[in-house]
Amino acid sequence: MSKEKVIIFDTTLRDGEQAPGATMNIEEKLLIAKTLEKMGVDVIEAGFPAASNGDFEAVNRIAKTIKNSVICGLARAKKSDIERTAESVKPAAKPRIHTFLATSPIHMQYKLKMDKAQVLQAITESVSLARSFVPEVDWSPEDATRSKRDFLFRAIELAIKSGANTINIPDTVGYTTPEEYFDLISAIKNNVSNIDKAIISTHCHNDLGLAVANSLAAMRAGARQIECTINGIGERAGNAALEEIVMAIKTRSDFYGVETDIDSTMISRISKLVSSITGFHVQYNKAIVGANAFAHESGIHQDGILKNRETYEIMTPESVGLEKSSLVLGKLSGRAAFKDRLKEIGYELNEEMLSESFKKFKELADKKKEILDEDIVSLVDDSIVHQKSRYSLTSLEVSCGTNQEASANIKIKIDNDEAETSFLSKDGPVDAIFNAIKKIIPHNANLELYQVQAVTDGTDAQATVVVRLKQNNRIFSANGADTNVLAASAIAYINCLDKLQN
């Protein structure tokens, strides 16, 4: 018998992007959206179109590109926001508007400065306006978990009457607990007279580390849409993590009795993509996608695993896309073999992108004997994301040692020109490189983070460097990959400046 479906609503590109430093450019958002679509996400919240022209543009491009997932834009309960959002999602095959208004006493009194009657009036107007543009309207009573229940029920009833077909119950400040949230969803089902005309949705923040547990509790009470993000990124402590929700539903289908349409074998890939684009590393012991999530260290565990994997393994690494990566290509592999491998990994590139990626592959194969899938994913994603970048590294020469100043000579391509300069530093090669870049691309941003990681094992592995810069209270992150860690550092810094200046 087929199980009831739970809708997976991903808000990595909206709530996820609200995390300080997680700002993404359009190409990055598009790549994430395409990967979310490929993995079977039902609804992609692509952004907040009224927030800026860049946000509008990103949602609009995603709406034009994605065909299978619903494309949703967030709007405040304002005419101008809703009209702008409607315009932005208009090209989507399946457009949706998500509009919200706070219903808790503290938000109404201090933030909105609106009384109950004004809030109810605004709900009627905003939801019916949204519904006049699109067939799917998601409505959220912001800070629902700290709202007075009677007023919350009235507000929900009115939103449904005005045309909302999904009612999302946000735990905006991550305050609720599984038992309380279960009880709230049950009370909504029992007290809102027209609730059968809408799908109940969850949106949980992780301030108390309960976002996933709360979402699952609400699902047990009857919620059939879960809002979540890849790697759990989002405001403050983040949102419920998509990968944890999906794998809990799949692994414990005996208990939950529901299913999702997500292809869980894409989890590892999208987790790495989001981590590399945002520069937010995933903690080693993070459930499902942490580097240690499937590592068995103790002798007793290893012995058990060798005898029968199920002794200590409740899900397989393969089920989240962690197949042992095989040696795939090398220096002598041709364009056809490269293209074939790309197809197997799941990429379909146009001729221009294929040529660009193949060129990078050949350069990498000259430096690294064995090219693994992880290397290919890293270089192709990098080509896709940076295809419109103004700056790129042409060459870098560095000299340094224990008893000498470090010197860096760098050439950078800027649009169709090239600039070259040098810098001497007492503080080491990275300082010399970053200062040389600053001479060519002047800026007043501060370096907030510099982090190095290896893409694969081995001393010839590519390094990925994450650079985070802060300028005028806005934080941007970017990465760079190369087998030479100093070149990777220069690329990451240049990429971050490119993001910051666009």
* Residues making contact with Zn ion (CB under 5 A): 15
Of 26-34, 151-159, 166-174, 357-365, the window that binds ligand KIV (rule: CB under 6 A) is: 166-174
CA distance 100 to 340: 46
- The residue among 166 and 462 lying less far from ligand KIV, judged by its C-beta, is 166
φ and ψ of 408, to 5 deg: -130, 130
Q: Which does 229 bind (CB under 5 to 8 A by kind): Zn ion, ligand KIV, none?
A: none
Restricting to residues 131-150, which ones interact with ligand KIV according to CB under 6 A?
Answer: 140, 142
Q: Cβ distance 279 to 21 under 8 Å?
A: yes
With respect to Zn ion, which residue has the nearer C-beta, 96 or 272? Answer: 96
Order of strands across the sheet that contains 391-401: 391-401, 404-414, 417-425
Secondary structure letter of residue 417 according to DSSP: E
Residues counted in the chain: 502
Question: Which residue's CB is nearer to ligand KIV, number 172 or number 357?
Answer: 172
Expressed in angstroms, the distance from the first to the final Cα of the chain is: 52
- For ligand KIV, which is the closer residue by CB, 26 or 240? 240
Instruction: Specify which residues 444 forms β-bridges with.
Output: none
Taking CB under 6 A as the rule, which mask of x and - marks residues 260-299 in contact with ligand KIV? ----------------------------------------
Q: How far is the CB of 81 from Zn ion (least distance, A)?
A: 16
Half-sphere exposure in the Cβ direction for 358 (13 Å, CA): 17
Give min distance, CB of 113 to ligand KIV, in A. 19
Min dist. Cβ of residue 262 to ligand KIV (A): 21
- CB-based contact 91:79 (threshold 8 Å): no
Kindly determine how many residues on this chain lie close enough to bind ligand KIV according to the rule CB under 6 A: 9
Among 164-172, 366-374, 389-397, 460-468, the segment contacting ligand KIV (CB under 6 A): 164-172
Which residue, 15 or 482, is less far from Zn ion as judged by CB? 15
Binding segment for ligand KIV among 147-155, 167-175, 254-262, 428-436 (CB under 6 A)? 167-175
Residue 142's binding partner out of Zn ion, ligand KIV, none, with CB under 5 to 8 Å set by partner kind: ligand KIV
Partner that binds at residue 17, options Zn ion, ligand KIV, none, CB closer than 5 to 8 Å by kind = none
Helix, strand, coil percentages, rounded to 5, for the chain: 45, 25, 30
By beta-carbon proximity to ligand KIV, the closer residue of 18 and 268 is 18
The CA R_g of the chain, rounded to the nearest whole Å, is 24
Distance set, CA 335 to CA 105, 342, 347 (Å)? 63, 10, 14
**Contact between residue 89 and residue 72 where contact means Cβ atoms under 8 Å apart:** yes
Q: How far is the CB of 152 from ligand KIV (least distance, A)?
A: 13
Query: How far apart (Å, rounded) are the C-alpha atoms in residues 240 and 206?
Result: 7
**Pick 106 or 291: Cβ nearer Zn ion:** 106
Least distance from C-beta 441 to ligand KIV, angstroms?
Answer: 35
- Does position 81 interact with ligand KIV (CB under 6 A)? The reply is no
Among 49, 73, 170, 232, binds ligand KIV (CB under 6 A): 170
Dihedral, CA atoms, 247, 252, 254, 258, nearest 10 degrees?
-40
Distance CA 219, CA 212 (A): 11
- Min dist CB 205 to ligand KIV, Å, is 6
Q: Which is nearer to ligand KIV, 84 or 203 (CB)?
A: 203
Contact status: 37 vs ligand KIV (CB under 6 A): no
Q: Which two tokens stand for residue 157?
A: 């009833």
For 111-155, give the DSSP string.
Answer: II---HHHHHHHHHHHHHHHHHH-SEEEEEEETGGGS-HHHHHHH
CB of 171 to Zn ion, least distance (A): 9
Quick one: 14 or 368, whose CB is closer to ligand KIV? Answer: 14
Q: Does 373 bind ligand KIV (CB under 6 A)?
A: no
CA 304, 308, 312, 318 torsion-angle sign: positive
Between residues 23 and 172, which has the closer beta carbon with respect to ligand KIV? 172
Q: Which C-beta is closer to ligand KIV: that of 16 or that of 178?
A: 16
**If binding is defined by CB under 6 A, does position 15 make contact with ligand KIV?**
yes
User: Is residue 13 within 8 Å of residue 41, measured between CB atoms?
Assistant: no
Smaller CB separation from ligand KIV, 45 or 382: 45
Query: CA 434 → CA 114, 279, 374, 421, 423, distances in Å?
Result: 50, 18, 27, 11, 9
Please, how many CA atoms are within 13 Å of residue 416, restricted to the half-sphere of its CB? 0
> Contact between 172 and ligand KIV (CB under 6 A)?
yes
For residues 188 to 217, the per-residue mask of contacts with ligand KIV, x marking binding by CB under 6 A and - elsewhere, is ---------------x-x------------
Helix residue spans in 399-484 (DSSP H): 429-440
The CA distance from 219 to 246, in Å, is: 12
Which partner, ligand KIV, Zn ion, none, binds residue 140 by CB below 5 to 8 Å per kind?
Answer: ligand KIV
Residue 265 near residue 40, CB atoms below 8 Å: no
Positions in the binding site for ligand KIV (CB under 6 A): 15, 100, 140, 142, 168, 170, 172, 203, 205
